[in-house]
Amino acid sequence: QALDGKRVFDLSVAPGAHEFRAGVETRTIGINAPFLGPILAARAGETLRMDVANGLAEPMTLHWHGLHLPAAADGGPHQSIAPGAVWQPEFNLAQKAGTFWFHGHQHERTGAHVWAGMAGVIRVADDEEDALPLPRSHGEDDFTLILQDRRFDADGQMPYELNMHDRMAGMQGDVMLVNGQVGPVLELDAPLIRLRILNGANGSFYGLSFSDELTFHQIASDGGLLAAPVAMRGAILSPGERGEYLVDLSDGAAVMLRAETFGAEVTMMGITGTHDVLEIRPRRARAAPPLPDRLAELPAPPKATGAARDFELAMTGMGMMGDFTINGRRYDHGRIDFSVPLGATETWTWTNRTPMLHPIHIHDVQFRILSRNGQPPAAHEAGLKDTVLIRPEETVALGMSFQDYADPELPYMYHCHILEHEDAGMMGQFTVV
């Protein structure tokens, strides 16, 4: 819907019932649908207005993960929407072409809301990406996949009841969902396809691969195109991360997308499940166009002009709420941890002093990984990112600039994207002033 040169998206969040298995109705939360939300399509440079209606009996928010926008429009814990109310943030879409998402972010309810289905995707296009010979026909050769795992009880419900292990490692399930479907089959007629994959899990990491050790190419990370396609046989996506991948189907053979799931405590427990996620069946063999050699001009990571900040992830005690801290502190809704001067380019260095994996996410910015344990990032991590995996005892330095939007009061968040860690307090907030 276009209005005065604005694009208006109506997003209505409400309780729903969804049949994950035929004949079994599972209680859910959805956005314009019984489970999950729409895949929105927009162009860089557009002004968006989101009309978010809260049809739940409790407060909620909707956060635009990965988007650069004013803190008042961010949809974090400070933009809570009361039951029955409508929130109408408006912002300019100042992004590179890429795959972004949105999800609930209510204080201490993020895990529950996302688990029930409060998430969707925003695909952003721009001129730079349009000029490349890449698959971009939505539903024909370009597919958006929200991967999640869920566990169901004997009645086919997905109660959000955390046991001790879920509190420690994050909520995980044994059933893989692709856009809310179990075991879908994708029939198509294209020799080269693009999969935009979101790890929309609460606490699971996904090791993705295809049958027959098929080689595929990553072309984009969280915030946009990589410099060049990166060949791989396996990809890891942490909760919150996105990757775009090209898959060659020119021989006409069916392939299976597979996922190994693992939790935050991978060093102790290892793989928690191996799943056939999505069967892809091309209708026939036909020649695929060659991949472009170059995708995007990635400027050198920004040189710091402002502060260097250190963040230490820690864990104290065993298995109780509140064990996860950043610089020794749990999230406090009323405390701003620090302020960044508008226009500054900063280096944020994260060290993980826990025995667990943590995917760290920063609002407002797309950052660049400057180094991982002193080494430059691998090619698939060298582009724009908003969420980064930090393994036990790793130190990862991130470079980012804070542009355009200042607000002395309303903060942005930085946090672990294992939603149970976030809700337990592994989160902080900063203002840009």
Q: Which residues bind ligand C2O (CB under 6 A)?
A: 63, 65, 103, 105, 240, 361, 363, 413, 415, 417
Q: Which is nearer to Cu ion, 26 or 79 (CB)?
A: 79
Q: Which secondary-structure segment (H or E) carries 112? A: helix 110-116
Residue 419, binding choice from ligand C2O, Cu ion, none, Cβ under 5 to 8 Å by partner class: none
- Measured from the CB of residue 426, what is the shortest distance to Cu ion in angstroms? 5
Instruction: Please provide residue 267's backbone torsions phi and psi, each rounded to the nearest 5 degrees.
Output: -65, -25
Under 8 Å CB-to-CB from 351, ≥6 apart: which residues? 310, 311, 312, 313, 390, 393, 394, 395
- Measured from the CB of residue 65, what is the shortest distance to ligand C2O in angstroms? 4
Q: Which is nearer to ligand C2O, 173 or 411 (CB)?
A: 411
Q: Which is nearer to Cu ion, 381 or 422 (CB)?
A: 422
Q: Which is nearer to ligand C2O, 239 or 301 (CB)?
A: 239
- Measured from the CB of residue 139, what is the shortest distance to ligand C2O in angstroms? 25
CA 410/CA 429 separation, integer angstroms: 9
Q: Which is nearer to ligand C2O, 65 or 167 (CB)?
A: 65
Q: Which of 170, 144, 176 is nearest to 243 (CA)?
A: 144
Residue 418, binding choice from Cu ion, ligand C2O, none, Cβ under 5 to 8 Å by partner class: Cu ion
Residue 242, binding choice from Cu ion, ligand C2O, none, Cβ under 5 to 8 Å by partner class: none
What single string gives the DSSP state of each residue in 324-386?
EEETTB---TT---EEE-TT-EEEEEEEE-SSS-EEEEESS--BEEEEETTBPPPGGGSS-BS
- Measured from the CB of residue 63, what is the shortest distance to Cu ion in angstroms? 5
- Measured from the CB of residue 416, what is the shortest distance to Cu ion in angstroms? 3
CA 285/CA 274 separation, integer angstroms: 29
**Where does this chain bind Cu ion (CB under 5 A)?**
65, 358, 363, 416, 418, 421
The letter for the amino acid at 371 is: S
- Measured from the CB of residue 214, what is the shortest distance to ligand C2O in angstroms? 30
Q: Which is nearer to ligand C2O, 206 or 216 (CB)?
A: 206
CA 175/CA 177 separation, integer angstroms: 7
Q: Strands across the sheet with 255-262, in order?
A: 185-188, 271-282, 255-262, 205-210, 235-237
Residue 358, binding choice from Cu ion, ligand C2O, none, Cβ under 5 to 8 Å by partner class: Cu ion
- Measured from the CB of residue 387, what is the shortest distance to ligand C2O in angstroms? 7
Closest residue to ligand C2O using C-beta atoms: 65
Residue 415, binding choice from ligand C2O, Cu ion, none, Cβ under 5 to 8 Å by partner class: ligand C2O
Q: Which is nearer to ligand C2O, 220 or 255 (CB)?
A: 220
Residue 421, binding choice from ligand C2O, Cu ion, none, Cβ under 5 to 8 Å by partner class: Cu ion
Question: E-strand spans in 211-344?
Answer: 216-221, 224-232, 235-237, 242-248, 255-262, 271-282, 308-315, 324-326, 338-340
Q: Which secondary-structure segment (H or E) carries 169? A: helix 164-169
CA-CA-CA-CA torsion for 147, 149, 153, 158, nearest 10 degrees? -60
